[in-house]
Each structure stands twice: as C-alpha cells, then as structure tokens.
C-alpha cells in the first residue's frame, strides 16, 4: 500500500519551489524556478508547468506565500516583494487551473506550522516563526492553531515602527522589516553612509573589521532581539524560530539575538523560551504543511 503524497508550493521573493512529500514531512521530489515579477501570466504558466511535471493530477496542494494576504478568501493584498500578485485571488486561480483544492497560508505561518508538525519542538503550545529573509514576516501557532486576524490577515510585525527613522520599506522609514530582515543588512549599510552593496557583502566587510558594516549588523540584531522580546512578553510563547538569517549567519548571530532579547524581555518569561534557527528545508516543508492543513485557525 502506497503512502499518500501531497504537493507544497513556496513562493519566495526570489525563488518559487514545488515539492512532493508525505505527511511525515519527507520530501520526495523538488523543482524550482525564479520568482519573476514582471508578468503575472508568464509566472503562473511556469508555476503550473512545474506542478504538472512533478505531479500531473495532485489531490491536495498547499501554498506558502508572503503577505499581506487574506487567508479566508485566498487572496493576496499588496505584497511588497510580489507586485505581480497584488490584489489577486491566487487560490481560486490555482484551483481552476489544477482542478484540485488549494490551501493558502502566509509563508511565515506555514513555516510555523511545519515547525509545529515536524520540528524539534513539535507540539509546542506557543510557537512563533520570524522569516528573517527577503522580508520580516511573523507566523504564530498557538495551542495547535495558526493565528490570523480580522479579514483573514496575518500578523505583520515587519510593518510596525521600530525606530523613528531608517531604511524605507512599505513607504514607512524605521519599520522592523527595514532593520530585521536579511535584506535590511544591506539597506542599513547604505543608510549609515555606505555604498549600495548586498547583505552578504556587508557581512564579509564586518568580518574584516569595517565599522559601518558592524553597525549595520548590530542594528539588525537589535531589531530581531527586540521583536523576540515583544512576543515573549506579550504572548508568552515558548518557542521562537528565526528563519533565513539564522541559517546564513549561524549560532553566533542567534546567540547575539538572544542576548538582545534578554536585555528587553521579562527574565522569567525568556527563561522558558527556546530560541533557535530553523529545521532543515523548512521553507520547502512549509508548502506541505499548508497542504496538510492546520488543526484549526484562530481568528480575531
């Protein structure tokens, strides 16, 4: 008897991947394409072709995609990194093209679901996931349910103002995404007077002793650590998973974030918290987690 398989789609700011996997979180196959943003129809045609190549007649499909979005209607609102999908009913379009039910989740929420199902802290009562990638999204799984708010919208901590000024994201200088995302490291370097270089180059310069680069990394850590402390104190979560930056920068960065959180959070709250990087392949698993559905959805 063959084990049932599912398809998961992860639409990132730079790459879109499609995986076939099992309810145990085992990835059996994977295909990917660039997330081009200039032509919606060309992008969708390429995505459908990937799905068909991997599984011609999928029974269940999950999609993890950056917000803001309305998860109840399966509609993207105005995602800054996916302008070609703004104000677009992605779930309905994919269901029509694929002829199968599609479940849409915010990418951070889907990653949180994947960690809740298959990660080392599976079953946690309160798990938060920060993407720390192209954007700074937040996913929450509380008592087994994904937390969405009014209108099916996801928490958008990246839009919250962190400092009075800073790199301009969402046409809002000083927001968390302009400080705490992976992309923000390069933006901060330029904001502090450096030339336009990417975040990886800033990290290299910091390692070589460039003080401006070190300043950019300091403010990145300060923003992520402060965001962690906010969730620890407000929601008393017991697990916080840091996304892409934890993978790229390693344990030293994670520990620096924990130290910053410790300077802000209630000590007895933080003492109960596991703060770590993501499990391997969590972004690919996020689409599978969306396909398998959450145990429930908490909505305001």
Q: 138-169: per-residue pLDDT in tens?
A: 999 999 889 998 888 888 899 999 999 999 98
Mean pLDDT of 291-300: 61
Cis-peptide, bond into residue 68, ω within 30° of zero: yes
Whether residue 272 sits in one domain with residue 147 = yes
The whole domain housing 175 covers 120-276
Chain-centroid distance of CA 102 in Å reads 19
The verdict on residue 209 lying in a domain is yes
The verdict on residue 115 lying in a domain is no
Quick one: tokens of 90? 């992605």
- pTM of the shown model: 0.93
SS3 142: strand
Distance, CA of 237 to CA of 270 (rounded, Å): 9
Q: For residue 298, name the pLDDT band (cuts at 50, 70, 90).
A: low
Q: Name which of 127, 240, 222 is nearest 184 in CA terms.
A: 222
Q: For residue 2, name the pLDDT band (cuts at 50, 70, 90).
A: low
The verdict on residue 251 lying in a domain is yes
Distance, CA of 251 to CA of 88 (rounded, Å): 39
What's the Cα-to-Cα distance from 269 to each of 66, 233, 234, rounded to whole Å? 29, 7, 10
Cβ count within 10 A of residue 225: 22
Quick one: tokens of 33? 């394409």
Whether residue 78 sits in one domain with residue 13 = yes
N-terminal to C-terminal alpha carbon distance within the chain: 42
The verdict on residue 187 lying in a domain is yes
- The confidence score (pLDDT) of residue 300 equals 45
Strand-strand pairing, 61-65 and 5-11 = parallel
* Residue 296 predicted with pLDDT over 70: no
Whether residue 265 sits in one domain with residue 165 = yes
């Amino acid at each position: 008897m063959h084990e049932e398989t599912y398809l998961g789609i992860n639409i990132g700011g730079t790459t879109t991947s499609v995986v076939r996997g099992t309810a145990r979180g085992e990835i059996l196959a994977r295909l990917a394409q660039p997330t081009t943003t200039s032509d919606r129809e060309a992008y969708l045609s390429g995505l459908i072709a990937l799905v068909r190549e991997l599984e011609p007649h999928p029974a269940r499909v999950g999609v993890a995609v950056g917000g803001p979005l309305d998860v109840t209607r399966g509609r993207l609102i105005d995602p800054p990194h996916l302008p070609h999908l703004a104000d677009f009913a992605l779930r309905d379009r994919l269901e029509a093209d694929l002829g199968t039910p599609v479940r849409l989740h915010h990418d951070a929420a889907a990653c949180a679901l994947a960690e809740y199902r298959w990660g080392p802290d599976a079953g946690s009562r309160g798990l938060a996931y920060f993407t720390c990638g192209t954007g700074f999204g937040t996913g929450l799984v509380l008592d087994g349910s994904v937390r969405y708010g009014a209108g099916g919208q996801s928490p958008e901590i990246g839009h919250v103002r962190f400092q009075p000024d800073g790199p301009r994201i969402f046409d809002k200088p000083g927001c968390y995404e302009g400080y705490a995302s992976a992309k923000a490291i390069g933006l901060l370097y330029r904001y502090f007077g450096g030339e336009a270089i990417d975040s990886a180059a800033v990290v290299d310069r910091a390692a070589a002793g460039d003080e401006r680069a070190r300043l950019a990394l300091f403010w990145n850590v300060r923003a992520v650590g402060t965001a962690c402390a906010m969730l620890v104190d407000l929601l008393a979560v017991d697990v916080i998973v840091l996304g892409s930056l934890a993978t790229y920068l390693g344990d030293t960065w994670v520990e620096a974030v924990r130290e910053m959180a410790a300077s802000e959070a209630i000590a007895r709250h933080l003492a109960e918290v596991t703060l770590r990087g993501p499990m391997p392949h969590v972004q690919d698993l996020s689409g599978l987690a969306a396909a398998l559905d959450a145990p429930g959805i908490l909505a305001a």
